Structure 1
Amino acid sequence: MHISEGVLSASVLGAGAAASIGFLVYGFREMKDELLTKTALMSSLFFVGSFIHVPLGPSSVHLLLNGLVGAVLGFAAFPAIFMALLLQGLLFQFGGITTLGVNTFDAAFPAVCAFFIFRKAASAEGILRTVLFFLTGFVPVALSSLLVALMLFLSGGKLFQAAQAIFLAHVPVMLIEGTATVFILRFIMKVYPSLLEK
């Protein structure tokens, strides 16, 4: 869900960059040596997840997987997602450099929210755990879609319809990622539970 260059207002770009820089500094401080491998792995997952994308106006529709990134990394999701978006912008012109701050915030802040949902799920059992696993995947995509829509709306009323279309187009992605996250987290907890320890 990359916002293209030349769409957002300067004030929105500045606010997004400032917010991302603040969280990036904190994320790098949280990223201890033992978290480096996990961060690289999750950054790669995020990078690959958005390769199959469908352009939609000033943005695009694709898998995000930011819920999984957040569940594993917590605040270190900011550096992981930032690096993936930077490489996508430089190598494939997905998004861009001027929108890097906004795009990072739109994907990474919801990933951090997923971390807190997942922490609740880790101590839950039965159907409650399954519901929380689903929300770990569903909520970040919903939040990212809302943030993208908000950024577009704040950049000019003429983008309101595009903002609505982008959110609605991501509803199937929310459901797919929520469902997939349930199975992925269950699998990881069985075969590699240390990946989810933080």
Structure 2
Amino acid sequence: MMHLADGVLGAPVLLASAALSAAGVAIGLRSLREDRLPLAALLGAAFFVASTIHVPVGPSSVHLVLNGLAGLLLGWAVFPVLCVALLLQAALFSFGGFAVLGANLLAVALPGVAAHYLLRGQLGPAATQRQAMLAGAASGVIGIGGAVLMIGSLLAMSGGRSFGELIVLFSLAHLPVMAVDAAIGAFTVAALLRMLPQSLAPVQS
């Protein structure tokens, strides 16, 4: 699953992740404009629902994440939005945990911010449907790929070689998730361009 559990990461990694996530939340709150609140709430709800539906893959399970799409549209505001969703998941369903909240948030939100900066230039006023779909698809690839890389790195820093096989299996299990996230991102951004182009306006980050 995309959630790391309590007790998996070492204390130094937990503390560093919490500090970086707290900084991301602070930056995100400052950048979140009032007119973006409905979109932020919608994306937060989509992330919450999508990541509670688990699909069995071998001995584990995977779920949609949509962090790249959220980051593409919200920029740094993806940090506080996903923080609320992860906090509710930990409290209501025991997904992840409270001690590892900072690490889980960093793993999903930072790739979202990366997707925003790498792709937002494709969503300007003159963007075409093709550009919008490519940007949305790429956001899914960056979001899932980045989250897998972040979680693998956090596990490696905590457990060294003991997590090597788990990291490989985790990466392979999320290849289909990456494809589905990319497809959802492509069609969502294209639909927004047609119906709510103002939602694709540049975010002050």
TM-score normalized by the length of structure 1: 0.91
CA RMSD of aligned residues (A): 2.1
**Gaps (5+ residues) in structure 2?**
none
| Selected match of 2:142 from 139, 142, 145 | 139
**Matched residues in 2 for 1:180 and 1:56: separation?**
20
**Gaps (5+ residues) in structure 1?**
none
C-alpha contact 2:51 2:64 (8 A) present in aligned 1: yes
Give the match for residue 106 of structure 1: 107
**Matched residues in 1 for 2:94 and 2:176: separation?**
25
C-alpha contact 1:68 1:136 (8 A) present in aligned 2: yes
Pairing of 1:116-127 with structure 2 (within 5 A): 116-123=117-124, 125=128
Number of aligned residue pairs: 198
C-alpha contact 1:121 1:133 (8 A) present in aligned 2: no
Gap change, CA 1:36 and 1:131, over 3 Å in 2: closer
C-alpha contact 1:49 1:62 (8 A) present in aligned 2: yes
**Matched residues in 1 for 2:75 and 2:32: separation?**
9
DSSP-derived class of the 1:96 partner: coil
DSSP-derived class of the 2:62 partner: strand
**Is 2:179 the partner of 1:148?**
no
Residue type of the partner of 2:121? Answer: K
Displacement, 1:186?
0.6
Displacement, 1:161?
1.1
Give the match for residue 27 of structure 1: 28
Which segment drifts farther, 34-43 or 117-126? Answer: 117-126
C-alpha contact 2:13 2:157 (8 A) present in aligned 1: yes
Displacement, 1:97?
0.2
Displacement, 1:24?
0.8
Pairing of 1:35-50 with structure 2 (within 5 A): 35-50=36-51
Which segment drifts farther, 112-121 or 73-82? Answer: 112-121
